[in-house]
Amino acid sequence: MEVDFFQLKRVSEAQRIFLEACPQGPLGYESVALLDATGRVLAEPVRSQEDLPGFDRSTVDGYAVRAADTFGASAALPAYLRIADDIPMGQAANRPLGPGECARIATGGMLPPGADAVVMAEHTDLIAGDEVGIVRPAAPGTNVIRRGEDCPAGGVLVEAGTMLRPQEVALLAHAGVTRVKVARRPRVAILSTGDELVPPDTSPAPGQIRESNSFALCGLVTASGAEPVLLGHAPDEVAAIRAKLQAGLAADVVLISGGSSVGVRDMTAAVLDELGPPGVLVHGVALKPAKPTILAVAGTKPVVGLPGNPVSAHVSFLLFVQPTIRRLLGMAPFQPRWAAIRARLSKNYPSAAGRVDVLRVALVERDGELWAEPVQGKSGLISTLTSANGMVIIEETQEGLTAGQWVDVWPI
């Protein structure tokens, strides 16, 4: 009999059911030194204790002026100002600027009281030792970073749930924040199952292959901001799988990969279900590849049964596990659409309506345009993943894609 995809859970429905049953993070907090904070997720908003910068700063080399003194200045009719001061870098400019006065200032220097603009050295003529001719008028604020312009006192420097990039770390340093409270990294236990699998450091006998999914999952978990915990391997036996899963529940999330045959999938689902309540929430998704994905929750711990095929496991990870990890970190579960790369599909790709198809593609530039070329190959071939650098998600409502059509490519 044909598989009826309409009996399976839709991807969006499966994601909604599963995420609703998972706890909202962060799972806990830790305080880390700022230099170790890049890539971590901020657990609470950080506000500035003070105006940043704490004083009006020049953005150029030139002369701090009262802008009003420069109005109407031109090369033909310069405004002549007396150089009343030379502002040393890194020190307070305490001497107020009187009318008709200016002060020599370098990039980053502090404007003196009374000054409200800086004229670039290039827009001046030095007339004598203590007089300068301004040849262009400056509006108030010209070439000045005003006190508090980077962030006012009490303003939010970085919002909670932000994965810190180098620039956020720099802004926090600028504000004097040297330790930050970040979300604890979820611990994700990884178990691989299958009677045909042997460890990578052994030579497989005929009928056996080396286990590789836990290696890919380890990297995917780390890249998602979580911490992998390897549970090793279990044969396709209820007792062995149950024991490993019970141990895995010491972690925050459990992934079990393997068993693509129907009998083994059903056995895995039964073992996952008895871990509940609530147990198995979704068994089978209208998704190609990765249809036999199992989504379960044991108490509050998400447990995902990933297909044994490497491509299916990768797809299932990206659609179900990564959003869960993001949620447990206190982030929005899904990446914004802008994280996808727009490219044109190089050839027609048929797919059935009513299910999500995930297509591996290689991005190539041709004739100045970016093309996504489908990578052919069975979902048991890891080499089709190493040849690809992106995935295209074909929604349930679409019946295939047309050559030349623009698509969103999610980098892998």
| Cα 78 to Cα 4, 126, 141, distances in angstroms | 83, 11, 20
Please give the sequence-ordered ranges of beta strands (E in DSSP) within 194-335, or none if there are none.
197-198, 209-210, 227-234, 253-257, 278-283, 287-288, 294-298, 301-306
Nearest approach, Cβ of residue 3 and its own copies (Å) = 7
By CB under 8 A, the count of residues binding its own copies is 105
Is 342 an interacting residue with respect to its own copies (CB under 8 A)? yes
Pick 13 or 195: Cβ nearer its own copies: 195
Query: Cα separation of 360 and 374, whole Å?
Result: 6
Could you tell me which stretch among 163-171, 245-253, 297-305, 322-330 binds its own copies (CB under 8 A)? Answer: 163-171
Site for its own copies, residues 109 to 138, rule: CB under 8 A: 109-110, 121-122
Is 381 an interacting residue with respect to its own copies (CB under 8 A)? yes
Asked whether the beta carbons of 392 and 373 are under 8 A apart, the reply is no
Nearest approach, Cβ of residue 153 and its own copies (Å) = 14
Contacts of 209 (CB under 8 A, 6+ apart): 196, 197, 198
Nearest approach, Cβ of residue 197 and its own copies (Å) = 7
Could you tell me which stretch among 57-65, 73-81, 279-287, 298-306 binds its own copies (CB under 8 A)? Answer: 57-65
Indicate which single residue of 23, 27, 53, 334 sits in contact with its own copies (rule: CB under 8 A). Answer: 53
Name the DSSP class of 58: E
Pick 55 or 80: Cβ nearer its own copies: 55
* Amino acid symbol at 175: A
Could you tell me which stretch among 5-13, 22-30, 70-78, 89-97 binds its own copies (CB under 8 A)? Answer: 89-97
Query: Cα separation of 291 and 22, whole Å?
Result: 21
CA triplet 67, 69, 72: central angle to 5 degrees?
95
Query: Cα separation of 378 and 307, whole Å?
Result: 14
Pick 89 or 239: Cβ nearer its own copies: 89
Indicate which single residue of 12, 31, 246, 261 sits in contact with its own copies (rule: CB under 8 A). Answer: 261
Is 76 an interacting residue with respect to its own copies (CB under 8 A)? no
Site for its own copies, residues 178 to 207, rule: CB under 8 A: 178, 194-197, 200-207
Peptide bond into 23 cis (omega under 30): no
Q: Tokens 């830790």 sit at which residue?
A: 30
Is 346 an interacting residue with respect to its own copies (CB under 8 A)? no
Is 402 an interacting residue with respect to its own copies (CB under 8 A)? no
CA triplet 300, 302, 303: central angle to 5 degrees?
130
Report residue 14 as tokens: 């499966």
Question: HEC string of 328-351?
Answer: HCCCCCCCCHHHCEEEEECCCECC
Indicate which single residue of 7, 72, 129, 263 sits in contact with its own copies (rule: CB under 8 A). Answer: 263
Nearest approach, Cβ of residue 404 and its own copies (Å) = 15
Is 240 an interacting residue with respect to its own copies (CB under 8 A)? no
Is 277 an interacting residue with respect to its own copies (CB under 8 A)? no
Pick 298 or 372: Cβ nearer its own copies: 372
Is 176 an interacting residue with respect to its own copies (CB under 8 A)? yes
Could you tell me which stretch among 13-21, 34-42, 68-76, 247-255 binds its own copies (CB under 8 A)? Answer: 34-42
